[in-house]
């Protein structure tokens, strides 16, 4: 028998994740994580509106599971399309004022399979160099030649325009891809400028130019009603990717757009066709979350989140503390942990070398006192 060499895989050196045993709830604090019997303030969660513990979502999840069972039972095209899934897609389309929506097991799965579904040798894909890993992998699995997949410097729209100009006449269609909010830095793309460039070059490619935006960290955070980077910038994408696992407090990913696009993805996107859908309970909770975000109660949560963001002198709920040194970053994380603050050290390869950071994430559930306490400790 051949020798097993699995023990030779390298270890990058970061400490294992803290295992959360449960949560503690009190009147004057946000939900706290319980780790080894001790309570910690949570500053590394994507739960931007604090909805994952909301009674309406929990009740909807219970009701959905009771009615439909704990799982979908099959992939969508066999017997896994339940009425609750159809209703969720309708709710998402209405929320974003689009014709249709398609849901995936995660936003990663949505990017991973939809980009490859939209790619062929007549398509040019141009991507921001700091786009999310799911976008990078979606482009990689498309098996395109190097000339079909090009990268523009981060938020450098002049460079983007140069690439588009140089490739006129070489491709039938172009797909411009960008994060709406870049998750490591909390930077917001100028979507109105991207829309302007897309429209400028649209007639230069026979099948047009499409703007593809992953707004996982923008939806439920940005804009007066939480419609994300589109609302914040006053511009729209042709293909909009979102997640139910961040501000909506649930799980899963989705894409909204024109009905013809969504119908095409149902026939072509591999992770939709060959992977189980959301559990009925999760889909039910997501519908309740969308309704809540669209209500006056949701508006109050969004206002509270925006107030908390201002306490950090930030424009987004993500606020990085960039130290650049991995040892110092891990040391600061540990010091904060010792004082009851749960944060995450982001190191290479998640970020480039020399960009090590503590990523602080703010929620509507945080109190001003908790945020000020964290800032004082840092």
pLDDT tens string 92-112: 999 999 999 999 999 999 999
Q: Angle 91-92-97 (CA atoms, 0-180°, nearest 5)? A: 100
**pLDDT at residue 6, rounded to an integer:** 66
**pLDDT at residue 350, rounded to an integer:** 85
SS3 of residue 211 by DSSP: strand
Is the distance from CB of 174 to CB of 161 less than 8 angstroms? no
- Domains along the chain? 55-293 (3.40.640.10)
**pLDDT at residue 4, rounded to an integer:** 64
C-alpha separations of 302 from 95, 223, 306 in Å: 15, 9, 6
Rounded Cα gap, residues 222 and 219, in angstroms: 6
Is the distance from CB of 287 to CB of 60 less than 8 angstroms? yes
Rounded Cα gap, residues 325 and 331, in angstroms: 10
Rounded Cα gap, residues 234 and 353, in angstroms: 35
**pLDDT at residue 28, rounded to an integer:** 86
Question: Which two tokens mark 338?
Answer: 């010792």
**pLDDT at residue 16, rounded to an integer:** 64
Place of tokens 């589109």: 230
Q: Which tens digits make up the pLDDT trace of 227-242?
A: 999 999 999 999 999 9
Rounded Cα gap, residues 204 and 67, in angstroms: 52
251-278 burial, b at 16+ Cβ within 10 Å, e below that, comes to bbbbbbbeeebbebbeeebebbeebebb
> DSSP string spanning 115-136?
HHHH--TTEEEEEETT--HHHH
Contacts of 261 (CB under 8 A, 6+ apart): 100, 238, 239
108-119 burial, b at 16+ Cβ within 10 Å, e below that, comes to bbbbbbbbbbbb
Closest CA to 205 of 167, 243, 178: 167
Q: In this structure, what DSSP letter does residue 80 have?
A: I
Q: Angle 42-307-255 (CA atoms, 0-180°, nearest 5)? A: 70
**Total H helices, total E strands in the chain:** 13, 16
- List per-residue pLDDT tens for the chain, 378 residues long: 455 666 677 666 556 677 999 999 998 899 999 999 999 999 999 999 999 999 999 999 999 999 999 999 999 999 999 999 999 999 999 999 999 999 999 999 999 999 999 999 999 999 999 999 999 999 999 989 999 999 999 999 999 999 999 999 999 999 999 999 999 999 999 999 999 999 999 999 999 999 999 999 999 999 999 999 999 999 999 999 999 999 999 999 999 999 999 999 999 999 999 999 999 999 999 999 999 999 999 999 999 999 999 999 999 999 999 999 999 999 999 999 999 999 999 988 888 889 999 999 999 999 999 999 999 999
Catalytic residues: 183, 217, 246
**pLDDT at residue 18, rounded to an integer:** 79
**pLDDT at residue 14, rounded to an integer:** 54
> DSSP string spanning 264-295?
HHHHH-HHHHSS----HHHHHHHHHHHHHHTS
Rounded Cα gap, residues 146 and 164, in angstroms: 15
Is the distance from CB of 41 to CB of 29 less than 8 angstroms? yes
Is the distance from CB of 357 to CB of 320 less than 8 angstroms? yes
> Max Cα separation, the chain?
66
Contacts of 18 (CB under 8 A, 6+ apart): 33, 35, 337, 342
pTM here is 0.95
């Amino acid at each position: 028998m051949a020798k097993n060499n699995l023990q030779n895989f390298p270890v990058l050196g970061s400490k294992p994740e803290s295992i959360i045993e449960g949560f503690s709830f009190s009147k004057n604090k946000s939900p706290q994580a319980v780790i080894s019997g001790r309570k910690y303030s949570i500053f590394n969660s994507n739960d931007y509106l604090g909805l994952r513990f909301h009674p309406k979502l929990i009740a909807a999840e219970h009701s959905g599971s009771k009615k439909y069972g704990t799982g979908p039972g099959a992939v969508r095209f066999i017997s896994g399309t339940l009425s609750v899934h159809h209703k969720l897609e309708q709710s998402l389309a209405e929320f974003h004022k689009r014709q249709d929506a398609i849901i995936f097991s995660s936003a990663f799965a949505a990017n991973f399979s939809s980009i490859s579904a939209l790619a062929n040798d007549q398509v040019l894909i141009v991507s921001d160099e700091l786009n999310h890993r799911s976008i990078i992998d979606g482009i990689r699995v498309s098996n395109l030649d190097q000339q079909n997949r090009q990268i523009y410097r981060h938020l450098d729209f002049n460079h983007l325009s140069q690439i588009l100009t140089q490739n006129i006449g070489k491709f039938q269609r172009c797909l411009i891809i960008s994060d709406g909010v870049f998750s490591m830095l909390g930077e917001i793309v100028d979507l109105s400028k991207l829309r302007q460039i897309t429209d400028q070059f649209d007639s230069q490619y026979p099948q047009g130019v499409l703007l593809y935006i992953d707004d996982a960290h923008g939806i439920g955070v940005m804009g007066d009603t939480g419609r994300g980077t589109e609302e914040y910038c006053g511009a729209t994408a042709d293909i909009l990717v979102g997640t139910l696992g961040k501000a909506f407090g649930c799980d899963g990913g989705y894409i909204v757009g024109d009905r013809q696009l969504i119908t095409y993805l149902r026939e072509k996107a591999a992770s939709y066709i060959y992977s189980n859908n959301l559990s009925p309970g999760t889909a039910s909770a997501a519908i309740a979350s969308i309704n809540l975000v669209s209500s006056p109660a949701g508006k109050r949560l969004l206002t509270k989140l925006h107030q908390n963001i201002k306490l950090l002198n930030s424009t987004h709920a993500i606020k990085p503390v960039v130290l650049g040194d991995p040892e110092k970053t891990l040391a600061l994380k540990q010091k904060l942990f010792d004082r009851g603050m749960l944060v995450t050290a982001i190191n290479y390869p998640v970020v480039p070398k020399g960009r090590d950071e503590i990523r602080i994430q703010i929620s509507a559930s945080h109190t001003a006192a908790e945020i000020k306490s964290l800032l004082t400790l840092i």
